Amino acid sequence: MKIKRIRKLKRKKKFNPNVSRKRLRNKLRKLPNISCSQIKEAWTCTKSTRVNLKEMGLAYDSNETVKIPNTKRERLEEARRIVKEDESLSDHDAEDVAPIKNHVMEKLEAEAKEPRERFFKLPKGQAQFLTYLIKRYGEDYKAMSKDKKNHYQLTWKQIRAKIKMFKGIPEQYNEYIQNDSVKLIS
- Contact by Cβ (8 Å): 93, 141: no
Neighbours of 16 (CB within 10 A): 9
Q: What is the pLDDT of residue 11?
A: 65
Query: Which residues are within 8 A (CB) of 111 and not within 5 positions of it... i.e. 6 or more apart?
Result: 38
Q: What is the pLDDT of residue 5?
A: 61
Backbone φ/ψ region at 138: left (φ over 0), alpha (ψ -120 to 50), beta? left
Q: What is the pLDDT of residue 186?
A: 57
Helix (H, G, I), strand (E, B) or coil at 126: helix
Distance CA 54, CA 102 (A): 10
Q: What is the pLDDT of residue 9?
A: 63
Burial class (CB in 10 A: 0-12, 13-18, 19+), 133: buried
Give me the tens of pLDDT residue by residue for the chain, a chain 186 residues long: 566 666 666 666 677 888 888 888 888 777 778 888 888 888 888 888 889 899 998 988 988 888 888 888 889 989 998 888 755 545 555 445 677 888 888 998 998 899 888 788 899 999 999 999 999 999 999 999 999 999 999 999 999 999 999 999 988 898 888 887 766 665
Q: Which of 63, 66, 36 is nearest to 52 (CA)?
A: 36
Q: Which of 156, 170, 39, 151 is nearest to 105 (CA)?
A: 39
Q: What is the pLDDT of residue 184?
A: 60
Query: Which residues are within 8 A (CB) of 58 and not within 5 positions of it... i.e. 6 or more apart?
Result: 39, 104, 105, 108
